[in-house]
Amino acid sequence: MVFSTLVPLQAVAFVLVALGAPLVVLTRDPLRQALVNGVYGITLVLLFVVLQAPDPALSMLVVSGIAYPLVILAAVARVRGERRRPEETKDE
């Protein structure tokens, strides 16, 4: 069978990834999704480390930790800002 050579640590990392992916999809709020996606990215980093692939792990870390959340957060800020703008004077 395919999984007979899977080390328990690798199995744990795979299970974490398998649990993380649906969590990202099932999170509906974009802001929260950006955070959940970051956590999911960390599980992928963990998987790459366990599989002894440090270079992809580093790339995954920076993409899921820096580049991708920024794009999401910027878009969320834009949408919320536009929604807030008509009543903005009230806040200040």
**Binding residues vs another protein (CB under 8 A):** 1-6, 10, 54-55, 57-59, 61-63, 65-67, 70-71, 74-75, 77-78, 80-82, 84-85, 92
Q: Between vectors from CA 22 to CA 9 and to CA 47, what angle results, nearest 5°?
A: 25
Gap between the Cα atoms of 92 and 28, Å rounded: 30
What's the closest the beta carbon of residue 52 comes to another protein, in angstroms? 10
Nearer to another protein, 32 or 80 (CB): 80
Contacts 24+ apart (CB under 8 A), 59-67: 64/37, 64/38, 64/40, 65/38, 65/41
Gap between the Cα atoms of 51 and 45, Å rounded: 10
Nearer to another protein, 3 or 26 (CB): 3
What's the closest the beta carbon of residue 31 comes to another protein, in angstroms? 13
Nearer to another protein, 23 or 56 (CB): 56
